[in-house]
A and B are shown apart, each in its own frame.
Chain A
C-alpha cells in the first residue's frame, strides 16, 4: 500500500510536550543524545495526543521513552497502551526516507508509527504504520514509502483488544490457554498470534503458533518422554486459538 498520495493527519505539539522533552534531554551526556531523546519524546507525545482524540488510553509514565534513566540507556520511543502492548513512535526528519529501527526496539513492540518532523516543531504529521515484525529476522529499517496508512494502526489495536477480550471469556479454548500461560504474558501471546495470523500461510499456523505457545507455557513440568505428546497438545491448542481469533478478526473486517 502506498501512503504517498493520502493527506496526512497533523498533530499539534503543545508546550507541555516541549517542556517534558527538554527535561529528558537536559540530563543526557551529549547534545546529540539529548536531541535524540527530545525528538523521540515529541514523536511519542504526538501519537499519545492522537490516540487521545480516538479515546484510546495510553500511559506516558510507564513508557521507557519518558523515563530519564531508560532514555540514557537506549534509543527508545515507545508508548505504552495499557493491557495491549507498546507502540514504537519513530521520528522521521526532513529528507529522511527510511525509519531506522535500533536493535533495542525490535522485540516487544506491537508496531511502528512514522512521525514526520519539519523545521518548525509546533506540529508533526503521522506518516503511517507498520505492524510488528518477526523478531527472529528483523529488518533494521523500514522505508517510509512502505508504511501502511495510519488507519492500519487502528485495525491493529482493535484486533489485539478483541483477542484479549476473547482470552478472558469462558470459551473452552480461552480457559485452556489461560491455564497454560502466565497471566502477564497474555498481551504478548496475543500480539504474536496476531503476527502469525497476518504474516503466515494458514497451513503454517499450527506449527508456528504451537512453537510460540510452547515457548510461553508455564512449563517445566514436561519430561523428555512426554515432550512430544505435550508439543502435540500445545499445537492443538494453538491451532484452536488461532482459528477462534481468525474467526473474530474476519467477521470484523
Chain B
C-alpha cells in the first residue's frame, strides 16, 4: 500500500467511525475531499454546468463514503472508479430534459426564440467579462431597486429620512448618513462622520443601526424589491 492509499484508507476509516456532526468526521471529510480533488482520472467535461455535476457528486461522496469497498489494484484507483460511476450519471443529467431542474438549459427560451436554447446564450463566465454581462443584465432590468433607492435618498419625498435623527442632532439625520454611506463609493466611515458632525460615535452608529437601516429596508420593500430570488 503506498502513501496515498494509506492516507485514503485512514481517512475513510475515520469518517466511518465517527458521527457526521463530530469534529473528527468533519476534519477527516475535509481532508478526504482535498485528496479526492487531487486524484488523477476524475472524469472531466467541457460543459458549462459540469460544476453542478461535480458538486452533486461530492455531496454524494460525503453521504455514501461508508459504503465504498476498495478493490485491487489500489484504494485510489477503485475510489476514482467509484466516484466516476456517479459523476457519469450526473453528467448525463446535464443533457436530459429534467422538469425539476431550476433552469432548463436545453429547452428553447421562448416560443418565438426558435431553436435558441439557454445553453447557447450563456456567456462565458469570466472575471474580465463580468462588467459587460452585468451591464446588459442591468439594462434588461426595469425594477432596479438600487437606482430607485438612490433617487429616493436624494429626494426623500416624505421627509422620512431627513426627520429621523438622534435628539438634538438634526444634522445627523438618516438622509445625510445615507448619502454618505450609500451614495458615496467608497462610503465614509462612521468614525469620520461622527467627528465631522461632532456627535458621539456610538450615538451615530446606533441611530444608523436602529433607525436608518430599518427605514431604508422598509423603503426598499415599498419600492418593490422581491424578497425571494427566482432561480
Task: List A residues at the B interface (Cβ < 8 Å).
Answer: 7, 9-16, 18-20, 22-35, 38-39, 49, 52-56, 61, 66-70, 72-73, 93-94, 102-103, 117-123, 150-151, 154-155, 158, 161, 252
18 A-B contact pairs sorted by A residue (CB < 8 Å):
A7-B34, A12-B50, A13-B125, A16-B103, A23-B229, A29-B149, A29-B150, A34-B134, A34-B138, A35-B131, A49-B55, A67-B227, A73-B149, A119-B128, A150-B30, A151-B27, A158-B23, A161-B21
Most buried by B among A11, A54, A150, A155: A54
Residue of A nearest to B209 (CB): A107
How many B residues have CB within 8 A of the partner chain?
65
Q: Which residues of A contact B228 (CB under 8 A)?
A: 61
Knowing that A9-B33, A15-B105, A119-B128 touch, tell me 9 more A-B residue pairs with CB under 8 angstroms.
Answer: A7-B34, A9-B34, A16-B52, A25-B137, A27-B141, A38-B134, A53-B29, A72-B149, A122-B51
B58-73 CB mask vs A (1 if < 8 Å, else 0) is 1101110000000000
Shortest B125–chain A CB gap in Å is 4
> Known contacts A26-B140, A35-B130: does B23 contact A69 (CB below 8 Å)?
no
Residue of A nearest to B37 (CB): A10
On whether the beta carbons of A120 and B51 are closer than 8 Å, the reply is no
> Known contacts A20-B231, A55-B62, A150-B30: does B137 contact A34 (CB below 8 Å)?
yes
On whether the beta carbons of B128 and A53 are closer than 8 Å, the reply is no
A102–B189 Cα distance when bound, in Å, is: 9
For the A-B complex, the count of residue pairs with Cβ-Cβ distances under 8 Å equals 165
* B110 within 8 Å of A (CB atoms): no
Shortest B23–chain A CB gap in Å is 5
* B169 within 8 Å of A (CB atoms): no
Of A39, A70, A118, the contact of B217 (CB 8 Å cutoff): A70
Q: Which residues of B contact A38 (CB under 8 A)?
A: 130, 134
On whether the beta carbons of A27 and B145 are closer than 8 Å, the reply is yes
Of the candidate stretches B5-13, B155-163, B218-226, the one touching chain A is B218-226
Q: Which residues of B contact A29 (CB under 8 A)?
A: 144, 146-147, 149-150
On whether the beta carbons of A54 and B23 are closer than 8 Å, the reply is no
Shortest B81–chain A CB gap in Å is 20
Shortest B113–chain A CB gap in Å is 18
Of A18, A24, A33, A61, the contact of B125 (CB 8 Å cutoff): A18
On whether the beta carbons of A68 and B231 are closer than 8 Å, the reply is no
